[in-house]
Amino acid sequence: MTKLGSLDAERVERHCLALAGELPQRAEVAGLRRVTRGPASHIVVLRTSRADGIAMRLRERGVRATALGDRVRFGFHYFNDEHDAVTAASALA
């Protein structure tokens, strides 16, 4: 098991930002847009009128996200990978 303190912080940040950067691009295909166009972040918040339905599909696929009214919030971490981003994006359609 990898100890959190042994991870290279810059590498982890690049990894998380790369995954988070892919999700909004994939979400646009499903008609969802980021709430803000601020600086790069490992947090992605998408606006949708279908937040509860999307949250249910995400749970069914084992993806943890939070439905907040008209938004769905994702957080990418060091243990996430490309498969997680693709799985999350597939639930948005």
Q: Is residue 23 part of a domain?
A: no
Q: Is residue 69 part of a domain?
A: yes
pLDDT digits (tens, 9 = 90+) for 29-49: 888 989 988 888 999 999 999
Q: Is residue 79 part of a domain?
A: yes
Question: Which structural domain range is residue 86 located in?
Answer: 9-15+33-92
Q: Is residue 82 part of a domain?
A: yes
Q: Is residue 88 part of a domain?
A: yes
pLDDT at 1: 60
Helix (H) or strand (E) holding 53: helix 51-60
Q: Is residue 51 part of a domain?
A: yes
Instruction: Yes or no: say if 33 and 72 are a contact pair by the CB < 8 Å rule.
Output: no
- Distances in Å between the alpha carbon of 46 and those of 11, 36, 93? 25, 9, 13
pLDDT at 93: 76
Structural domains counted in the chain: 1
pLDDT at 8: 84
pTM, two decimal places: 0.84
**Beta strands per DSSP E along the chain:** 33-34, 43-47, 66-68, 71-75
Closest listed residue to residue 87, CA positions, set 57, 61, 65, 55 = 61
Instruction: Yes or no: say if 88 and 65 are a contact pair by the CB < 8 Å rule.
Output: yes
Which residues of the chain are modeled with pLDDT < 70? 1-4
Residue 47's SS3 state is: strand
CATH number of the domain where residue 80 is located = 3.90.1150.10
